[in-house]
Amino acid sequence: MRAGIVVALAVTLPLLGLRGVAHADLGDEPSSKSSSGGIDQADDADKPKDPSLLDKKPADAAVAQKKQVDTTPMYEKWQFWAIVGVAAVGVAALIWGGSALYHQLNGGDVRPCNMDFKGCFGEGH
């Protein structure tokens, strides 16, 4: 019973909060709560007026040129092949290690017969 009340409140309270959003002033006219002093946000007083400050720098051109020059496919880069090589060695080591572990868990290699054994059966007769 209490869980039902908690669930009902959890669903109802957000819906009551959304009712206020539905009646919000969404028109083009600014609401009466706005505290702007007639300054438009698009007008930035701190923006430099000197066009030389807004021109592109030589570094911008160098970066743009670097982006244009570096169009080689990924498979022709040495970093790609280094990652592929490390991944291949890792997969091979994982397969070999898993095989060795599986072999050891199943008894391992057959040991030769020793004089201390009471009976020697199998491959070591």
Summarize pLDDT for 64-121 with one digit per residue, the tens.
777 776 678 888 999 999 999 999 999 999 999 999 999 999 888 877 777 777 777 6
Contacts of 54 (CB under 8 A, 6+ apart): 48
- CA-CA distance, 72 to 66, in Å (whole number)? 12
Residue 87 lies inside a defined structural domain of this protein: yes
Is the residue at 116 inside a domain? no
- Quote the pTM value: 0.38
88 in a domain, yes or no?
A: yes
CA 33/CA 74 separation, integer angstroms: 56
Beta carbons of 31 and 25 less than 8 angstroms apart: yes
Q: What is the residue range of 98's domain?
A: 73-108
Residue 96, in any domain of the structure: yes
